[in-house]
Structure 1
Amino acid sequence: MNRRVLALFRPYRGRIGVITCLILVAALLGAALPFLTRDLIDDGLFAPGGPRIGLLCGLLAVMIALAAAAAGLGVLQSYLASRMGEDVMERLRGDLYAHLQRLPFTFFTRTRTGEVQSRVIGDVGEVQSTVSSTVPTILANAVTCLTTLAALFVLSWRLALVTVALLPVTAWLTAKVAVHQRRMIGAVQRSRAEMNVIAEETLSVSGVLLARVFGRADHGARRFQGESRRLSGLQLRAAMSAQALTTALQALFLVMPLVVYVAAGFTGAVTAGTLLAFTSLQARLFLPAGQLLQVAVQYRAAMAVFERIFEYLDLAPAAPDRPGARAVGKADVRGEIRLDGVTFRHGDRAVLDDVSLTIPAGRFAAIVGGSGSGKTTLSHLVLRLHDPDSGRVLLDGADLRDLRRASLATLFGVVTQEPVLLHASIADNLRYAAPDATDAELEAACRAARIHDRVAALPDGYATIVGERGSRLSGGEKQRLAIARALLTDPRILVLDEATSSLDTENAHQVQDALAPLLPGRTTIAITHRLETVRDADVIFVLDEGRLVEQGTHDDLAARGGRYAALLADHARTPV
């Protein structure tokens, strides 16, 4: 773990070298000041025959100049170090986000959104101050300690030995607190992640709607307040352990000069100037030493957070393109989809079991079946959101795994049961699929999806903000907007995953009417339980518990009296 954290700074070795040089020069200037103080006291202020005003003024001027130079160098090295820390965190944030984008789709289906957000934003933010200050603080205080320790031995090696003998007490106090702090910080981060999850679930549009419909707003408040109370307790314990260390160190620092005064009485032959210089140097030693130990506490605590960040970075990404995988363009694709003995498992359960089927290019195919029969999983395999555990998914006879994943995205248009809309304008939502689309192209796509007139009637037209998840639009309007967005890419293959299932009859008919003129010439795969929408399909595939049990036209399957006929009978009894 330590190596991984230190590796974050490897690209900045040159900058660290410059910072180290600045720190070394500033530390040497600072270490020289007590020697000048000794001379000012012994040779200037208490010189035989009275104070030597000229020497006092000269030494004072030199001390002011050295202090100013040391302060200026400190500001410069602080800026360079902070800039480096921000660069490190920017890269870590970007790497984590990019890595999450490459993870298998199954990761996002089993991980709560609030937990992911907590890792990307909360955890990285938590270690930002540690990363920004750790390296410069370690360098500055280590160099200061070494130069000061050397100066102490030059002034009085006997008193220096007394001082060094007291350092283990400081180290022991810090080590005791560090172990406790690491445990506490880990618990704090887990509690913050849980609060993020609760807030994301209960304060979203759908969460607020659910709570108000069922009168459970107080339930969400109790959950949040309970976790907030737990977090406050954890943070208080963490703060008190840090305060206990600070208080103990402060008490120790107050005692140190007194010990030196007593030791000086035993050693003898120490001038007043030397004693004053020594105690001022001693403060320069114990303050950075204490800060070094506190950094050690913070670093140990930050390790708990880094473990959470690296846990995500260590997750295996989705299978990369095979060596030699080729890009494919729309002009190269006819659109035939074939599954050849495909099996896909979630854990030990086969969601699809040895499924083989063919959807001819340019045809309208429907996938139907009961809940949990594997319909949506089949569409995910066609879109290559998953790869099969065994068997092949073929596009025009080519295994999808032999085609570059990025090029496949240009071939498909997808409309899901719950359209994913950003909290942005209608135009921005449309251009998410085609960033370079012109206003005329947006309008043409919306006319084709039969939503242009509705958009044009809005006060801000295409600049209208749709709200979170499209909350300002009706279900049918969101679906037709999603259809327009899909059409902007002119897909060769259109996947409709329960595109009308959540709509009332009127809206469903509007969406069906919008889709009807768009299907000819495209391979269309409709996943649905709304059987009246697939009567005109060229072929219907019936899934049951992950297996393909029937295929044919509506009339053929209805007359056969099998699983499809049973679904029709159930649908007639409970019409949508």
Structure 2
Amino acid sequence: MERGGKGRPHTVSAAEKAAEKAQAKDVSLRRIGRLFTPHRSQLTIVVAMIVASSIVSMASPFLLREVIDVALPEQNLRLLVWLVVGMVGVAAATSALGVVQTWISTTVGQRVMHRLRTDVFRHLHRQSIAFFTRTRTGEVQSRITNDIGGMQSVVTNTATGIASNLTTAVATIVAMLALSWQLSLVSLVVLPPAVVLTRKVARMRREITAKRQRELADLNVTIEEGLSISGVQLSKTMGAGTALVDRFTRSSTRLIDLELRSELAGRWRMAWMSVIFAAIPAVIYLGAGLSNALTIGTVVAFTALQSGLFRPLMGLLGVGVSITSSLALFARIFEYLDLPVDVDDPEHPVEPWNVEGHLRLENVSFRYPGSDTPAVDGVTLDVPPGHTLALVGETGSGKSTIAALIARLYDPTGGRVTIDGVDIRDLRLDDLAAIVGVVSQETYLLHTTIRENLRYARPDASDAEIERAARAAQIHDHIAALPEGYDTVVGSRGHRFSGGEKQRIAIARTLLRDPRILVLDEATSALDTDTERAVQRAFATLAAGRTTVTIAHRLSTVRDADEIVVIGHGRIEESGTHTALVDAGGRYATLAS
């Protein structure tokens, strides 16, 4: 089977398949059971109602026997009426109990599903940027939607299904033994082969389920990559639309095959079991004919019980199949829940203080996972409160990595980053985000209104504060001229606006947080010269008392910085003011020429 990455298919190796199978095998049923622990009281009530319903329902065959053997032959109308009333009452009681237990069990199941979804989302949100750079977006979405969605019937119905079918089966067997132990032996002889057969079917479905979920993830990836704004633009400009549709079609075709295999897995084997169960009444009639000790009422009642035994037994076997096949889904979900968090809140965080904004990098080094070359190598920087530091250098020199380390998108592999002498790893991530504001060259706007995009930075911001931030970013006049003003929907990823307009909205969003340290990673790269100058003037005003780290290719935007540092191959090559560096005739002078 192929898994499509962007541009070319990826074949799922035998090792990957073996790993998934081993992982599914290792899923602990005890761990799955712990999902239901907070709902023990509700489940206890459900089980009690199921037991009561099963016991009450067992009265029906005995009432039927009395109707056939006593009330009808003796023409006892009074007894017949009471027996009929009893049969109707049993049906009404079991139906009412069934409705209530279904309501409770479904509520419990949905709450477990809710907890799973939110736990996975919360845990993934805590992952570092490194996780998302190596994981396909569609894969993450598929785990949360397809995998958890596929577990819904198991989570919602398994506990009650086991209790209901087991209780009914036990009660039915007891009632059958009470009517005739000889006929009971004939009826139960098929149980051992049924159990063996069910285990084989369960293993088949588990393997198919794992393959199906992988294919669903691939389909999600294709949708995410092919139907996003960026994906559509790429496919249209590259003429790749036909190839993309073909890739989606092939994946969907494979999914049809897997869905059919999943539904039909073991069906013929289970069909033979149905035939055998259906043939047992004929054997019972034969046995009754050979024995003169059984009344007609007993035979009819026993046959009704035996037919009723088929449903809970097959239900129990079906639950076993569902649980076993769903282990592949639980394995995929638990795999994400068990991911270690590389960048996390400290166990004993330093409480926020009156931040001055003294930023230091002390012999900081960083290497991306899987890379042999350090992206940052022994960098030491000191930015006093209110000062401006500019980082310049060629593409890939390590400037943006330094910005990411300051915002703690990654943790350094060596050295430390401090603010006012406190290692940023000792701060809560939310507290650090309030202190360090970042505007990157890749702006991301949510598919909502401009107002809500700005309020994403500060949900409690007033309209006046939002407008003030927009004015500072030189975007208010443009927004005010729009027909719907700040209530204009920006479109997917903000594609209704130009690159410069999106960046100014992003700048306004960051300024709304009023961070003490501002990191501008090519923040004005998409602005025209006039707009860039206006934004720079706004930054000059806002930078008063604020520590600012600016990364830029246009040296004209950083010439007034208090210190300019030239980065090359992850190291500091030279530093100083604009004038001093130009006079030195080094690397900066070459870049400035």
Fold equivalence (TM over 0.5): yes
Q: Secondary structure at the match of 1:409?
A: helix
Give the TM-score taking structure 1 as reference length: 0.94
Q: Is the 8 A contact 2:503 2:526 kept in 1?
A: no
Gaps of 5+ in 2: 1-27
Counterpart CA distance in 1 for 2:275 and 2:580 is 90
Whole-angstrom distance in 1 between the partners of 2:58 and 2:117: 39
Q: CA deviation at 1:543?
A: 1.7
The verdict on how the C-alpha distance between 1:556 and 1:248 changes in structure 2, with shifts beyond 3 A counting, is farther
Q: Name the residue aligned to 2:161.
A: 137
Q: Residue 198 in 1 paired to residue 198 in 2?
A: no
Amino acid of the structure 2 residue aligned with 1:159: L
2:549 to 504, 516, 525: 525
The counterpart of 2:235, out of the listed 190, 211, 217, is 211
Gap runs ≥5 in structure 1: 570-576
Which residue of structure 2 aligns with residue 364 of structure 1? 388
Q: Which residue number in structure 1 is paired with residue 296 of structure 2?
A: 272
Which residue of structure 1 lines up, in the alignment, with residue 321 of structure 2?
A: 297
Change (3 A) 1:183 1:503: farther
Partner of 1:389: 413
Describe the SS at the equivalent of 1:346: coil
1:434 pairs with one of 458, 470, 475: 458
Contact 1:498 1:528 (8 Å CA) reproduced: yes
Q: Which moved more, 1:107-116 or 1:52-61?
A: 52-61
The aligned counterpart of 2:357 is 335
Q: SS at the partner of 2:236?
A: helix
Q: Tell me whether 1:29 sits opposite 2:56 in the alignment.
A: yes
User: What SS does the aligned partner of 2:203 have?
Assistant: helix
**Residue equivalent to 1:179:** 203
Kindly indicate whether the alpha-carbon contact (under 8 Å) linking 2:563 and 2:576 is maintained by their aligned counterparts in 1: yes
Other-structure match for 2:46: 19
Which amino acid letter does the alignment assign opposite residue 337 of structure 1? L
**AA matched with 1:453:** D
User: What SS is found at the alignment partner of 1:370?
Assistant: coil
What is the TM-score of this pair, normalised by structure 2? 0.91
The 3-state SS of whatever aligns with 1:392 is strand
Matched residue, 1:572: none
Change beyond 3 A, Cα 1:372–1:260: farther
Task: Give, in whole Å, the separation in 1 of the partners of 2:466 and 2:99.
Answer: 53
What SS does the corresponding residue of 2:460 show, helix, strand or coil?
coil
Which residue among 92, 96, 103 is the counterpart of 1:68? 92
Tell me how far 1:507 sits from its aligned partner: 5.2
User: Are 2:312 and 1:288 equivalent residues in the alignment?
Assistant: yes
Report what 1:444 is aligned to: 468
Alpha-carbon contact 1:480-1:514 (below 8 Å) kept? no
Where does residue 556 of structure 1 map in the other structure?
A: 580
Deviation (angstroms), 1:559: 3.5
Identical positions, percent: 48
Q: Secondary structure at the match of 2:374?
A: strand
Matched, 1:312 2:336: yes
Deviations along 1:244-271, one digit per CA (max 9) or x if unpaired, are 3553343233212122223334454111
| Number of the residue aligned with 1:147 | 171
Give CA deviations for 1:10-38 in whole Å, capped at 9, x if unaligned.
11111111111100111011111111111
Other-structure match for 2:275: 251
Q: Contact 1:249–1:290 (CA<8 Å) still a contact in 2?
A: no
- Tell me which moved more, 511-520 or 366-375: 511-520
Superimposed CA distance per residue, residues 316-337 of structure 1 (whole angstroms, 9 cap, x where no aligned partner) = 12444444422224xx122121
Alignment of 1:70-109 (within 5 A): 70-109=94-133
Do 1:158 and 1:267's aligned partners in 2 also have CA atoms closer than 8 Å?
A: no
1:71 to 1:219, Cα distance in 2 relative to 1, 3 A: same
Moved more, 290-299 or 241-250: 241-250
- Check whether the contact 2:444–2:493 (CA below 8 A) recurs between aligned residues: yes
Q: Secondary structure at the match of 2:375?
A: strand
Residue-by-residue CA offset, 1:421-471 (whole Å, 9 max, x unaligned): 111111111111111111111111111111111111000011111111111
Instruction: Select between 230-239 and 101-110 the one with higher mean Cα deviation.
Output: 101-110
Give 1:209 deviation, angstroms. Answer: 1.0
Cα distance in 1, alignment partners of residues 537 and 250 from structure 2: 50
Supply the RMSD in Å over aligned alpha carbons. 1.8
Q: Does 2:488 correspond to 1:461?
A: no
Deviation at 1:491, TM superposition (A): 1.3
Q: Using a 3 Å threshold, how does the CA distance of structure 1 residues 263 and 553 change in structure 2: closer, same or farther?
A: farther
Shift of 1:161: 1.1
Checking the alignment, whether the CA contact within 8 Å between 1:341 and 1:355 is kept in structure 2 is: yes
Contact 1:381 1:388 in 2 (8 A): yes
Alpha carbons 1:374, 1:546 under 8 Å: kept: yes
Q: CA offsets per residue over residues 57-99 of structure 1, 9 Å max, x none?
A: 2211111111111111111111111111111111111111111
Question: 1:379 corresponds to which residue?
Answer: 403
Aligned residues: 564
Aligned with 1:42 (options 40, 60, 69):
69
Which amino acid in 2 is paired with 1:32? Answer: A
CA distance 1:405–1:273, change in 2 (3 Å): same
Measured against aligned partners, the alpha-carbon deviations of 1:402-422 in whole angstroms (never above 9, x if no partner) come to 333321111122111121211
1:2 equivalent in alignment to 2:2:
no
SS where residue 211 of structure 1 aligns?
helix
Q: 2: CA distance between counterparts of 1:307 and 1:24?
A: 32
Q: 1:568 to 1:252 in 2, by over 3 A?
A: farther
- Work out whether residues 407 and 438 of structure 2, in 8 Å CA contact, stay in contact via their aligned partners in 1: no
The CA deviation string for residues 115-158 of structure 1, in whole angstroms up to 9 with x for no partner, is 11111122111111210111111110010011111111111111
1:513 positional shift:
4.6
SS of equivalent to 1:355:
strand
Residues 38, 549 of structure 1: CA spacing in aligned structure 2 closer, same or farther, 3 A cutoff?
same
Distance 1:468 1:275 in 2: 70
**Residues 319 and 213 from structure 1, CA distance in 2 versus in 1: closer, same or farther, beyond 3 angstroms?**
closer
Matched, 1:231 2:258: no
Counterpart mapping for 1:493-508 below 5 A: 493-503=517-527, 505=529, 508=532
1:279 Cα offset (Å)? 1.2
Q: Equivalents in 2 of 1:130, 1:258: separation in Å?
A: 35
Q: Which residue pairs with 1:159 in the alignment?
A: 183
CA–CA separation in structure 2 for the residues paired with 1:191 and 1:421: 30
> What SS does structure 2 have at the residue aligned with 1:349?
coil
Q: Distance in 2 between matches of 1:530 and 1:112?
A: 33
> Equivalents in 2 of 1:236, 1:368: separation in Å?
58
Corresponding residue number in structure 2 for 1:121:
145
Q: In 2, Cα distance between the equivalents of 1:394 and 1:2?
A: 45
Letter paired with 1:42: D
Q: Using the alignment, how far apart are the partners of 1:310 and 1:362 within structure 2?
A: 46
Q: Kindly provide the amino acid, as one letter, of the partner of residue 125 in structure 2.
A: Q
Query: Of 315, 325, 343, which aligns to 2:349?
Result: 325
In structure 1, the residue matched to 2:368 is 346
Inter-partner Cα distance in structure 1 for 2:137 and 2:492: 15
- CA distance in 2 between counterparts of 1:201 and 1:58 reads 69
Which contiguous aligned blocks of 4+ residues in structure 1 show a shift greater than 6 angstroms? Answer: none
Q: Which moved more, 1:443-452 or 1:250-259?
A: 250-259
Aligned mates of 1:129, 1:21 — CA distance in 2: 21
In 2, Cα distance between equivalents of 1:476 and 1:75: 59
